[in-house]
Chains A and B, each alone.
Chain A
């Protein structure tokens, strides 16, 4: 395994600046997730880091060595894509063995057997080794695709939304598996996703991207609790953070220059009327089983807050809410500390 340094990467597509001077480091053994919506530049960045594309400016270092003139095949890295591209006519075993039989590696069949056996155990597909790749469920196919990356012992794994074509249940299962395997192998992974749940649950650190810029890097907790700006704040957490214009609130409670106040859905308490609370009307109660969302209006502004699923709140009801650890944002959307 090795570390990865992305240094001042800039990329143009025609006149559009797809990546704007992006800098970050992935430590040896770290699970690093790039989070952003479609078009944020995360996949472009991943392709440049892995060598599938060239940058216009900047450099990539793997294990301390500049990769500018190194073709992808010589970088000793692997790539897992969203669509599991398996060889349909081969068995699971042969699919897993394939990278090791390539002319460049040409491992002995004994080594291959050892490697395939251990990786298939790790991913819990060892009972399906003799199946044709097409005789597998979606989750199993994606495990094989991941397994094919794992057999190789590369310096770095690059993964582009590897779980997003799976249904919700499988996705959450494979998430846990992938995290466990990564920890066991001490693998360095650069992982791209638009799914904030994946980012929060998998990452040691997250980099949030938007419009070609890397906005903030930190542990999931750091980013969730101390977002640098409104965009990052609204990117993590479901339902998203409430942003309330400060005019609707007790202005004196917030720092000078505050324009919007961010309140996480769980950072509210319902209590009696007081100087610290705000009257709000329940517009709708949304039951999701494990918790309920109360849709509120506070001075005509809509808010969503969490509540216990067995509370008896009803639409039209008047309540008083108090904010716990609100975050202030200035007129440019930047957090005020």
Chain B
């Protein structure tokens, strides 16, 4: 197993800069997720780590060995694709053992290894089955098995669960994470699904337009996003954005959103002058108070069983609040809103960047 270092890696396809200079380190044994919308450069980055693409510039180290220009076959990484690329004419056992047969392992050893892998993935009972009739979940387990059996330095996975439906995807996330906990292999995992990323990752790297927006622990990214892009991409429903114009300066702890409405915020550390800003607050940190000056009318409610989402139309746009299901809300009623102070993030509207406040500073969260 090994650490992976990406040092100022760029990749262009003609005029198109797919990856615009990425630098980051994936620690040994880490479950590392690259997250972003399609076209953000996450798959290109993964393919460069695998050796399926050669960087335009920069270097890639795999366990201290410079592999930047090594072909994929000499890198000792295993790739798992979205479409389970299995050999349709072979049974499960032959599919799993195929990589070892190619490398000329003895039959005896192959058998032992296949048994062990099947046990880990709990697919012992289907070893002799043809892959054609398998469920999507079992097919994906088999393709994982083919990756695991090689015992590579790192696993590289490109949306391996993308073809599954939501509920089953979550079940497979848990399986993958359990598998990782057992094997402790460095894993680089690409997805556009924030739930998968939050659920499994030790660290998440969020990409957008070929650049890194932010990386760190999932809960930190969720709580302290550095940009509106990250704030919006993580969470379902995502963060509320309330637009306003104001003057913001160092030391501010109260934000004047308009003539009537002021809210308490974590202390701002720099002068930002006057301009257009956005207040960001997550739905679970919005509560209700009749005395609040920030008011709106209930536009809709959504029942989720465990909780409900109340959507309120305010002067600053729609605001979603997560509420207990025991509370009764009527569409059209007026409602006062309160935001939990610690969870408020202010963004520059134009750049989308978060303004520096005391909490970010204390936790050393910066770009």
Contacts and interface: CB of A to CB of B under 8 A. Distances in A.
A200 B222 contact: no
Contacts of A220: 303, 305
Interface residues of B, number: 37
B303 A200 contact: yes
A224 B306 CA distance: 9
Interface in A259-294: 264-266, 284, 286-291
Contacts, number: 78
Interface string B280-318: 001110000000000000011011111100010000000
Contacts of A175: 302
B174 A237 contact: no
Contacts of B195: 288
Interface stretch (B81-89, B116-124, B230-238, B252-260): B230-238
B165 A236 contact: no
B178 interface: yes
Nearest to A266: B306
Given A194-B165, A195-B166, A284-B178, A176 B311 contact: yes
A221 B218 CA distance: 32
Given A194-B165, A295-B174, A288 B198 contact: yes
Interface residues of A, number: 36
Contacts of A167: 192
Nearest to B307: A266
Nearest to A167: B192
A306 interface: yes
A221 B327 CA distance: 13
B77 to A, nearest CB: 26
Contacts of A290: 222, 235, 282-284, 322
Interface string A202-242: 00000000000000000011001000000000001111100
A306 B306 CA distance: 10
A168 B199 CA distance: 16
Contacts of B322: 290
A284 B198 contact: no
A180 interface: yes
Nearest to A289: B222
B304 A200 contact: yes
B341 interface: no
Contact of B170 (A221, A239, A264): A239
B300 A180 contact: yes
Contacts of A291: 284
B219 interface: yes
A289 B305 contact: no
Contacts of B284: 290-291
Contacts of A264: 305-306
A289 B218 contact: yes
Given A176-B311, A288-B199, A290-B283, 19 more contacts: A167-B192, A175-B302, A176-B300, A176-B302, A196-B167, A200-B302, A201-B303, A221-B325, A224-B305, A239-B170, A264-B306, A266-B306, A286-B199, A287-B219, A289-B198, A289-B235, A290-B235, A290-B282, A290-B322
Interface of B: 165-167, 170, 174, 177-178, 181, 192-193, 195, 198-199, 218-219, 222-223, 234-238, 282-284, 299-300, 302-307, 311, 322, 325, 331
Interface of A: 167-169, 172, 175-176, 179-180, 183, 194-197, 200-201, 220-221, 224, 236-240, 264-266, 284, 286-291, 295, 306, 309
